[in-house]
Amino acid sequence: MEWSAGRTQVNSWNEWDPLRHVIVGRATDCHIPPNEPALEAKVPEDSDMRGMWGKRPQESIDRGNELLDGFAALLEARGIRVDRPDPIDFSQPVTTPDFHTGSQFGCMPPRDVLLTVGHEMLEATMSYRCRWFEYLCYRPLMQRYFEEDPRFRHEAAPKPRLTDADYHKDYLSEKIGVEKRLQWAADKHFVTTEEEPLFDAADVLRFGRDLVVQHGFTTNQKGIEWLRRHFPDHRVHAVNFPGDPYPIHIDATFTPLRPGLILNNPQRRLPEGQREMFHRNGWEIVDAAQPAHNSPPPLCYSSTWLSMNVLVLDPKTVCVEKSEVYQAEQMDRLGMEVIPVELRDAYAFGGGLHCCTADVYREGGCEDYFP
């Protein structure tokens, strides 16, 4: 069915077809959550955030929202429909029969929670206790899409129990050291155990019939197997990036730009043994340009590699963070038109231009790129 702005349709099969409708997150009421096993393993050992929790400073939230609103307005000016989540009160603790944690997180990166595959939007299990209820921020939109699009499939993966059995204890020490972390990453020994299926939506990249899923801290093998059974018409490929001591979410590591071309973080190269399907089908995997910054902004979970966390608007047009001049230059050389978007002061809320969005509609259908 053809796109018409007046009618809601959920349809998106890949990361690059022309974008028509998208969700952009909000920084409102975002909290630094208290310590919990999955988070402890993730916060970099030298981070300014270790040991602190509570609501983020209001000025930083206002600034984050200013940038996210600006990004939403820029997309709208290009004719893209933009919806926004409804933040809940993130100061509320999360208590289930199995665990308790003192606060929630926020709703800035919808990419982490919502996986759009064709006419379906799937709420991920999530792997942090503080993000257990984050899907509630998107329920008003899901209800609307359900009413307005008769083909829309609203799905939710089984909520995980997230007891201590979900986390490896050896990851819960203050000082592990990067060397040991890299060894563990190479051995595919991550903080999450195989107790039950776990995945965050941002570990999944969509290539038409193929889904590429990062096995790491936020997605375990059972989570990947769950996706395989849930999408029987897809081929699901597990990948891992041994160069990443904090492997969380694939979109600052491996970034498809258009059919045949993927940027790969040069510090987190896809192992030779996992490149076969790309090479066999003539896809090029190129090293991403260096980030423009030496360190992430204050109180940020992510690395400087949010430089490559770009949002592709169509196979010739890409949004790149405004200060990421090397990444923009490389895009230009690769034949992409670059739209600079200021977002760095919103990174602390959970990520960059790709993270802070979730696809609702891209043109095109389900192609087989790896026959």
3-class secondary-structure state, position 241 = coil
Contact (CB, 8 A) for 265 and 226: no
- Shortest distance (Å) from residue 217 CB to ligand ARG: 9
Note the residues at the interface with ligand ARG (CB under 6 A): 109, 111-112, 202, 248-249, 251-252, 302-303, 305, 350-351, 355
- Going from the C-alpha of 198 to that of each of 217, 316, 362, the distances in angstroms are 10, 34, 27
- Shortest distance (Å) from residue 248 CB to ligand ARG: 4
Tokens 């001591």 correspond to 245
Q: CA–CA separation, 59 vs 43, rounded Å?
A: 23
- Shortest distance (Å) from residue 200 CB to ligand ARG: 8
Q: CA–CA separation, 233 vs 45, rounded Å?
A: 41
3-class secondary-structure state, position 274 = helix
- Going from the C-alpha of 45 to that of each of 117, 174, 241, 347, 349, the distances in angstroms are 35, 7, 20, 19, 19
293 is catalytic: no
| Nearest to ligand ARG of 167, 246 (CB atom) | 246
| Nearest to ligand ARG of 9, 60 (CB atom) | 60
- Of 83, 149, 166, 200, the active-site residue reads 200
Tokens 């389900």 correspond to 366
- Of 107, 130, 319, 355, the active-site residue reads 355
200 is catalytic: yes
List b or e across 315-344, with b for residues whose CB sees 16 or more CB atoms inside 10 angstroms: bebbbbbbebeebbebbeeeebebbebebb
| Nearest to ligand ARG of 197, 216 (CB atom) | 216
Q: CA–CA separation, 127 vs 99, rounded Å?
A: 13
| Nearest to ligand ARG of 8, 341 (CB atom) | 341
Q: CA–CA separation, 22 vs 31, rounded Å?
A: 24
- Shortest distance (Å) from residue 341 CB to ligand ARG: 16
| Nearest to ligand ARG of 113, 339 (CB atom) | 113
| Nearest to ligand ARG of 149, 244 (CB atom) | 244
Q: CA–CA separation, 170 vs 173, rounded Å?
A: 7
- Going from the C-alpha of 315 to that of each of 196, 244, 262, the distances in angstroms are 37, 28, 12
- Shortest distance (Å) from residue 98 CB to ligand ARG: 25
Overall size of the chain counted in residues? 371
210 is catalytic: no
- Of 21, 249, 300, 359, the active-site residue reads 249
Cβ neighbors of 141 (< 8 A, separation 6 or more) are 23, 83, 85
- Shortest distance (Å) from residue 212 CB to ligand ARG: 14
Contact (CB, 8 A) for 266 and 287: yes
| Nearest to ligand ARG of 9, 257 (CB atom) | 257
Nearest alpha carbon to residue 366 among 3, 6, 12? 12
Q: Which residues are annotated as catalytic? A: 200, 249, 355
